[in-house]
């Protein structure tokens, strides 16, 4: 089961580029104007055989984006930054080329990024936001090219994108009006590479990943003199898992407080995932928390009997039923009587559009793949990331959906648009390969050590304690949750439930705000939703950047 090109959330089954010295653009001090030569000189890869050691590299360009009818000049920096687990200056390195050198090279990652700074000179007093998608194992082209970068790839709201040429336009919803932006690719994705002993184990895991991003952010703040800027994190999907772990690492290991954490399509507790709850019997909460998203999807596709005119008229009743009679019925297990089971099945039919016989045969428990496969009949499958999308069913005899129509519909446009944009406009990546995503399903370490635990805990990842601890230790930290009603990967009601069950004092609940949109996992695929998302996020940043 694949989450999406831009993020993975389900069960844990489950989900550097190198430059010759002369080609690396010299970094001028923050605030100093860049030369035309720096604009024109793209970074290039080292010749074969010389790419063993990772090096920082970047290219500087300038551009203009129009947001809210106002042109904004900006400086763009595309590059790679080498991140170590420990300060390499604290270690004695063996002589280059020696036998010991090959065996003892400490793990390192070159993490690719694109940063945008408003104006001709970088202003160290502006807010700065670090953005990333999830996976784990995804680059950040999705947020970059779909949501908040200065250009945006245009895709149909709920249909397969026609083949190239793809439409790339000025992004009037870029967040550059509210904050400087740093789009970061996860270790091993984008233009990045890993080196050193046990490099995969060093970077590919819940805790390892959080420390890698923390080290990247620390290095970036130092390189750009941004330590005293208002600072924000923005993560999507598994990026929200990362954000919860990361903000705790930043506060406790790096002594850095952030102004805010912005979460899009949240999953903090993988026990809540609707992807494969059948493998975790006795934990019925995922079925309850997914029900409002099932109802919204069925409403959108006109599959509900006696459907109300609006979602607002439908969802409160579904949410009440999900945590009330439905939860009580599932809690009863095999003790549930036949009459009661039949009554619950009838109500589930009214809220999901699925046949009563199908619901009863599933023992009232329909997982995400089964719902996607069965809602529209044997020949049509709904999207997982965005249930508004549909596609032909690959195997009409299968129990669950065999693919995600939304991923298939739009991924090619994002990948092609970014690969063209980064080389032609940002002047970076010539001779390099950009990896939109890498397969980490089997190698990712989902073990996590929450605050206060003596070691990593067995079982599904849960970073709710991390976010709660960060909010308790910094009572000024603000959190914004955003989600889509038609997201079957990280259902919106599950995100609400997690926020309402953070282990912290009730007085801190005022630091959390929540917004939901008529869209899917990638909320920004729906342009009206993107407009509203921009407005909410920009207001959150502005409000929480004041002294």
Question: Which domain CATH number covers 84?
Answer: 3.40.50.1820
Cα(428)–Cα(56) distance, integer angstroms:
13
* H-assigned helices in 269-404: 285-300, 311-321, 327-332, 338-352, 356-361, 368-374
Give pLDDT, residue 29: 40
Instruction: Note whether 387 and 430 are same-domain residues.
Output: no
Q: Among candidates 137, 172, 165, which has minimal Cα distance to 9? A: 137
Q: Which residues, including other chains, have CB under 8 Å from residue 221's CB and lie 6 or more apart? A: 227, 229, 231, 256
Q: Which two tokens stand for residue 477?
A: 């930290």
Instruction: Note whether 216 and 284 are same-domain residues.
Output: no
Longest CA pairwise span in the chain (Å): 78
Cα(3)–Cα(12) distance, integer angstroms:
11
DSSP annotation of 178 reads: T
Give pLDDT, residue 88: 74
Q: State the total domains in the chain.
A: 2
* End residue of a domain, out of 386, 403, 420: 403
Is 535 a domain residue? Answer: no
**What one-character-per-residue DSSP string does 491-521 give?**
-HHHHHHHHTT-SS-GGGGGGEEEEEESS-S
Taken in order 147, 152, 158, 160, is the CA torsion positive or negative?
negative
How many C-beta atoms lie closer than 10 Å to residue 420's C-beta?
A: 15
Is 529 a domain residue? Answer: no
Is 1 a domain residue? Answer: no
Cα(83)–Cα(217) distance, integer angstroms:
10
Instruction: Note whether 327 and 474 are same-domain residues.
Output: no
Instruction: Note whether 99 and 204 are same-domain residues.
Output: yes
Rg (CA), the chain: 24
Instruction: Note whether 264 and 116 are same-domain residues.
Output: yes
Q: What is the pTM of this model?
A: 0.90
Instruction: Note whether 377 and 500 are same-domain residues.
Output: no
Give pLDDT, residue 445: 95
Is 545 a domain residue? Answer: no
Q: Which residues, including other chains, have CB under 8 Å from residue 146's CB and lie 6 or more apart? A: 152, 153, 155, 414, 522, 524, 525
Provide the 3-class DSSP secondary structure of residue 349.
Answer: helix
Give pLDDT, residue 42: 46
Is 547 a domain residue? Answer: no
Give pLDDT, residue 52: 66
- State which residues form the domain around 299: 280-403
Give pLDDT, residue 102: 53
Give pLDDT, residue 12: 37
Instruction: Note whether 381 and 494 are same-domain residues.
Output: no
Q: What angle do CA 72, 77, 79 make, to 5 degrees?
A: 155
How many C-beta atoms lie closer than 10 Å to residue 87's C-beta?
A: 8
Instruction: Note whether 366 and 330 are same-domain residues.
Output: yes
Residue 416's H or E segment, with its range, is helix 405-424
Give pLDDT, residue 161: 83
Instruction: Note whether 223 and 256 are same-domain residues.
Output: yes
Query: In the chain, which residues have pLDDT < 70?
Result: 1-52, 92-104
* End residue of a domain, out of 341, 372, 403: 403
Q: Report phi then psi at 346, rounded to 5.
A: -65, -40
Is 473 a domain residue? Answer: yes
Give pLDDT, residue 402: 84
Angstrom CA distances, 469 to 210, 251, 314, stand at 15, 10, 35
Is 162 a domain residue? Answer: yes
Instruction: Note whether 200 and 322 are same-domain residues.
Output: no
Using the structure block, give the residue that is written with the tokens 């509900």. 304
Instruction: Note whether 234 and 288 are same-domain residues.
Output: no
Is 516 a domain residue? Answer: no
Cα(532)–Cα(119) distance, integer angstroms:
25
Cα(142)–Cα(132) distance, integer angstroms:
9
Are the C-beta atoms of 138 and 105 separated by less than 8 Å? no
DSSP annotation of 231 reads: E
Instruction: Note whether 377 and 246 are same-domain residues.
Output: no
Cα(65)–Cα(418) distance, integer angstroms:
17
Are the C-beta atoms of 513 and 543 separated by less than 8 Å? no
* End residue of a domain, out of 373, 403, 433: 403
């Amino acid at each position: 089961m694949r989450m999406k090109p831009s993020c993975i959330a389900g069960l844990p089954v489950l989900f550097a580029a190198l430059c010759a010295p002369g080609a690396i653009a010299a970094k001028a001090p923050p605030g100093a104007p860049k030369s035309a030569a720096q604009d024109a000189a793209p970074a290039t890869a080292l010749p074969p055989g010389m790419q063993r050691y990772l090096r920082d590299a970047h290219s500087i360009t300038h551009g203009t984006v129009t947001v809210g009818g106002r042109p904004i000049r900006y400086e763009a920096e595309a590059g790679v930054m080498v991140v170590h687990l420990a300060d390499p200056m604290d270690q004695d390195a063996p002589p280059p080329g020696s036998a010991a050198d090959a065996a003892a090279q400490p793990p390192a990652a070159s993490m690719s990024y694109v940063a945008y700074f408003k104006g001709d000179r970088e202003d160290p007093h502006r807010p700065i936001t670090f953005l990333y998608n999830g996976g784990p194992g995804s680059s950040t082209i999705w947020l970059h090219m779909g949501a908040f970068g200065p250009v945006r790839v245009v895709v149909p709201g709920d249909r397969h994108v026609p083949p190239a040429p793809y439409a790339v336009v000025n992004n009037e919803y870029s967040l550059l009006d509210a904050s400087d932006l740093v789009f970061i690719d996860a270790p091993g994705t984008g233009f990045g590479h890993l080196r050193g002993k046990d490099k995969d184990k060093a970077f590919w895991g819940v805790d390892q990943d959080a420390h890698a991003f923390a080290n990247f952010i620390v290095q970036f703040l130092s390189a750009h003199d941004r330590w005293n800027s208002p600072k924000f994190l923005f993560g999507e999907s598994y990026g929200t898992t990362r954000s919860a772990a990361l903000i705790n690492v930043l506060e406790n290991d790096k002594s850095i407080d952030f102004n805010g954490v912005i979460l899009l399509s949240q999953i903090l507790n993988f026990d809540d995932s609707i992807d494969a709850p059948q493998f975790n019997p006795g934990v019925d909460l995922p079925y309850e928390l997914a029900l409002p998203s099932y109802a919204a999807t069925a409403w959108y596709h006109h599959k509900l009997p006696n459907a109300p005119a609006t979602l607002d008229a439908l969802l409160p009743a579904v949410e009440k039923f999900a945590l009330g009679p439905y939860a009580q019925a599932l809690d009863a297990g095999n003790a549930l009587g036949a009459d009661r089971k039949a009554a619950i099945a009838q109500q589930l039919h009214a809220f999901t559009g699925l046949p009563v016989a199908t619901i009863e045969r599933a023992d009232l428990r329909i997982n995400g793949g089964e719902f996607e496969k069965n809602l529209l009949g044997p020949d049509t499958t709904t999207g997982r990331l965005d249930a508004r999308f549909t596609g032909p069913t690959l195997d009409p005899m299968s129990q669950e959906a065999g693919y995600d129509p939304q991923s298939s519909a739009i991924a090619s446009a994002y990948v092609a648009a970014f690969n063209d944009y980064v080389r032609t406009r940002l002047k970076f990546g010539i001779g390099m390969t950009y990896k939109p995503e890498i397969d980490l399903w089997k190698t990712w370490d989902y073990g996590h050590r929450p605050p206060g635990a003596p070691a990593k805990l067995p079982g599904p990842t849960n970073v709710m304690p991390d976010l709660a601890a960060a909010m308790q230790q910094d009572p000024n930290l603000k959190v914004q949750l955003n989600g889509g009603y038609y997201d079957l990967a990280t259902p919106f009601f599950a995100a609400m439930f997690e926020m309402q069950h953070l282990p912290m004092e009730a007085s801190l609940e005022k630091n959390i705000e929540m917004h939901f949109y008529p869209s899917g996992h990638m909320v920004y695929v729906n342009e009206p939703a993107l407009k509203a998302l921009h407005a909410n996020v920009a207001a959150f940043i502005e409000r929480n950047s004041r002294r």
